[in-house]
Every structure is written in C-alpha cells, then in structure tokens.
Structure 1
C-alpha cells in the first residue's frame, strides 16, 4: 500500500479538529508545530497538502504527528490493515467524543501502539538471541 503524505495529512486535517469549529488552517498547524522540537512553516504545510512537497523530512513528520496526536507510523505505514485501523479509529473517535474525550482516546491509542511496538521488538530480540545460541 502506498499512500502519499499529502493524502495522509489531508485526512488528518479533514477529521482531527475540535468539535466546536472547522478544520485547522495551514497557518494554525504551523503555529502548533512551534511547540514541538521542530517547526514546520505554513508554506511547507500548504505545499504538503497541495502535493508540491512530496517527501517532508522526518522532523517535519514528527512535528505534524504531534500536532494531530497520532503516532509517526501514521505517516509511514505501508501495511493496509494498519492503515485501515488508523482510519477507522480516527473516524469513530471523531464522531462520538468531546474534545477532552478525544484527547484521552488519542493518548490511550498511542500507549497501545507503543506497547505493541515494544512487544514486537522484544520478540525480535529473543528470536535473534535464540538463533545465535
């Protein structure tokens, strides 16, 4: 599965914003990244959304992931099942939760994904250790 960063970011813009207003603008998104370790300019946000910037660097993707409170893997996954789970989760959460509940659900999802990554890493390390014995 190959889905351009443009479409991934547009999906977040379309679905991840407070219930009492419309989607964030490129200027607002850029402003939110100022709080992260790497700032993304509003021009870069606009260029990603228009498809002019097709390969943002890792720092930019991390900053955008922080803004929308999704794991960095949201921008990187090539696994269709994993992508579908992100889409389903974001759509469901958007439909039924208040802003505070939405924030809490994103945090819970982040911890769940982190735990799964750690489990995969531990399994990989154990398998490598078993093969060298």
Structure 2
C-alpha cells in the first residue's frame, strides 16, 4: 500500500493526512460500510459510505476514481469514499495543494454539480480525524 500511496501523492501533488493512512492501515475495510448523519440545510439524512482504496485492480481505486471524476481535481478535491448513491463522494479539499496543511472534508453531490460547484459541496469536518468521530460502522 505504501508505494501506491506515495505514487498517488506525487501524481496528484497532494499529501494524504496521516490520520487517514493510519485508519486505512489499521482497519480491514473490504466490504465494510460506515454511516454518518448529514444536515444539508435543514434536510437531515443518513448517508452510508465505503472507502476507496489503493489497490490498482479494484473498481474503488482512488487513482481510477480521480481520473474518471476529472472535474474534481481542478477544484482541489480528492475523493476518498463513495456513498451508496454511487456518484456522490466524500473528498479531501486541499485548499493549499502541495503543502502540509490538513485538508478539510467535504461531501460532493454529483447531481447538484450540474447547477454549480458551490451547490454541490457540503462541508463535513476540518480534518479527517474530526470526520472519523462522526462515523458509525454499519
């Protein structure tokens, strides 16, 4: 996994948060789902997610998802999890690309992206560690 992480960090010009790498390393996430409660302007919903991975042969390989969702990268968004809606993603928001600043966590709603990027992004947490506090195992 370590080589794939380094490769993606270099190709995307990002640095994944240490807490994220530790979470992936210490948990067997294959076929494991998590949930969290989301409030998107008064509408409260339960969202179920599964984490993307660093296995190049997987449909959930972060590199493949980044390539497929190419509209995210120019907006400094790197997906790390997919919702049960399939097209909605949880992303790291690297507002200072290439620096050591911890990225914020946002929810990207694909359907709302057609209206505007601002409408499609929902703030979730200031860091991955903070986001983990919101997760429940399904």
> What's the TM-score, normalizing by structure 2?
0.28
Q: Which has the larger radius of gyration?
A: 1
Which structure shows the higher helix fraction? 1
> What's the TM-score, normalizing by structure 1?
0.29
Which structure shows the higher strand fraction? 2
